[in-house]
Amino acid sequence: MFDARLFLIGFLQALFVLLLAPFFAGLARVLRAKMHSRKGPPLFQYYYDIVKLMKRQEVRPAQATWVFRATPYMIMVSVLLIAALIPMWVLQSPFGVVGDMILVIYLFAMVRFFLAMSGFDSGSGFAQIGVARELALGVLVEPAIMLVLFIIALFAGSTNLGTMSQMIALGKVSYTSPAIWLGMAAFAVASFIETGKLPFDLAEAEQEVQEGPLTEYSGPGLALLKWGIFAKQVVVLSLFLAIFFPFGSAATLGLPGVLGAAVLFFLKLFCLYVIVAVIENSMARLTLFRAPHITWVALGIALLSFVFYLVQI
């Protein structure tokens, strides 16, 4: 059960997410500009930003403690671990022996937990508003994600992410079942909220609460934190793709197959980002208390998929 090649793939996936996260964030920004009929920044603008921020002096509020300084690293490492757990390129979870879907959900909780801690630690009112929103959204999103993944896991007979995507890819879990489609819809809404894209851009809302928990960060800390948040968006969407669109992922660990699958996965992510950008830019920000209505809808769809699972259609 200990396969060195799988572990290598896991590390490469983490590296893939790390290196491409600013690209995808930049892509979203360019697409947004195009839809506004603006020229927009260069595609690689975020790389320039990050490199520049890294060189800048860091300014911290005097009352902040080590929690504030450690958070960007905490977030980065937990996102990278999630990236290595998701079966992106092959039909197995690269770090399947390390954990399963429950671990992934709780690693997302870890990201949220430390981001919230740092927001509090900075002592800034804006950060704390953002934090309270972030956590309240978590309370609504995490159950929906858990329910959908739990149902898919019951179909697959395992909570291992690799097995789950394998069962769907091989058609063992029937792709024609309404349960899967509804589950997909619910998961799509939930992961959309999880990425913090526009109608749900409540916690790090730039125009409203000065980017919430990011308010007090500067220099290398800000660079890492932004990078971590971009990487988190990539990882959330990858999870969606890995579970519901595993087609084309390599079934064996041969080099050409994996490479092909990696390229294909990049294309899949690219398409998904375009779709997400279209949705994002055709919506206005919700007020916080409207968000629950949407998440109840997601939960409702998830429950409906659950009903279909029960009657085994």
Partner 1 sequence: MGAQDLLLLAVFLYVAGAVAALIFNNSGRFANCITSLSAFAASLAGIASALLVLTGSGFRLDAPGWIPFTRFTMEVDQLSAFMVLVISFLAAAVSLYSFSYLEEYSRKNPGVLGFLINLFIASMILVVTVGNGFYFLIFWEIMTLVSYFLVIYEQDREALRAGFLYFLVAHAGAVLIMLSFILFFIITGSFDFAVFRTAKLTPVLSSVLFVLAFVGFSAKAGAVPLHFWLPEAHSVAPSNVSSLLSGVMIKTAIYGIIRVCMDFLGAGGWWWGFLVLVVGIISAVLGMVYALTQHDLKRLLAFSSIENIGIILMGVGAGMLGLALNKPLLVGLGLMAGLYHLLNHATFKGLLFLGAGSVIYRAHTRNLEELGGLAKVMPVTAFIFLVGATSIAAIPPLNGFVSKWFIYQSLFTLGMSGGFADKVFMPLFAMLLAMTGALTAMCFVKAYGVTFTGPFRSEHGEKAREAPFPMLLGKAILGLGCVVFGLGAPLIAPRIMSVVASLLNTGAVPVSAALTVFPGDVGQAALSTPLIALLLIGFLVLPLLLLVLYGGAGVGSRLDPTPWACGYKYIPQMTYSSHAFAQPLQIIFRPLYLFSATLKEFGATAGAYFSTRVAYLVQVEDMWEKFIGKPLARGVQGLGRLVQLLQLGNVRLYCTYIIITLVILLAAVRF
Write out the binding residues for partner 1, residues 32-71 only, by CB under 8 A.
50-51, 54-65, 67
Q: Which of residues 193-212 bind partner 1 (CB under 8 A)?
A: 210
List beta partners, residue 282.
none
Site map 153..192 versus partner 1, x via CB under 8 A: xx--xxxx--x-----------------------------
- For residue 232, what are the CA distances in angstroms to 18, 37, 172, 194, 204? 10, 28, 30, 9, 14
Nearer to partner 1 (CB atom), residue 147 or residue 168: 147
CB of 242 to partner 1, least distance (A): 16
Which listed residue (40, 178, 199, 219) binds partner 1 by CB under 8 A? 219
CB of 199 to partner 1, least distance (A): 17
Nearer to partner 1 (CB atom), residue 141 or residue 250: 141
Q: What angle do CA 234, 35, 40 make, to 5 degrees?
A: 75
DSSP string covering 19-35, please? Answer: HHHHHHHHHHHHHHHHH
Residue of 288, 111, 116 whose CA lies nearest to 205: 288
Nearer to partner 1 (CB atom), residue 71 or residue 249: 71
Q: How far apart are CA 45 and CA 22, in angstroms?
A: 8
Q: How far apart are CA 2 and CA 23, in angstroms?
A: 33
Nearer to partner 1 (CB atom), residue 77 or residue 253: 77
CB of 252 to partner 1, least distance (A): 19
Q: Which of residues 127-156 bind partner 1 (CB under 8 A)?
A: 127-129, 131-133, 135-136, 138-147, 150-151, 153-154
**Which 3 state secondary structure label does DSSP give 250?**
strand
Q: Which of residues 263-282 bind partner 1 (CB under 8 A)?
A: none
CB of 272 to partner 1, least distance (A): 24
Q: Which of residues 1-30 bind partner 1 (CB under 8 A)?
A: 1, 14-15, 18
# residues contacting partner 1 (CB under 8 A): 91
Residue of 118, 303, 149 whose CA lies nearest to 214: 118
Tally the C-alpha atoms within 13 A of residue 280's C-alpha that lie toward its C-beta.
Answer: 24
Nearer to partner 1 (CB atom), residue 142 or residue 177: 142
Q: Which of residues 97-116 bind partner 1 (CB under 8 A)?
A: 97-100, 102-103, 105-107, 109-110, 112-113, 116
Helix (H) or strand (E) holding 154: helix 125-156
**Which 3 state secondary structure label does DSSP give 176?**
coil
Residue of 197, 210, 221 whose CA lies nearest to 278: 197
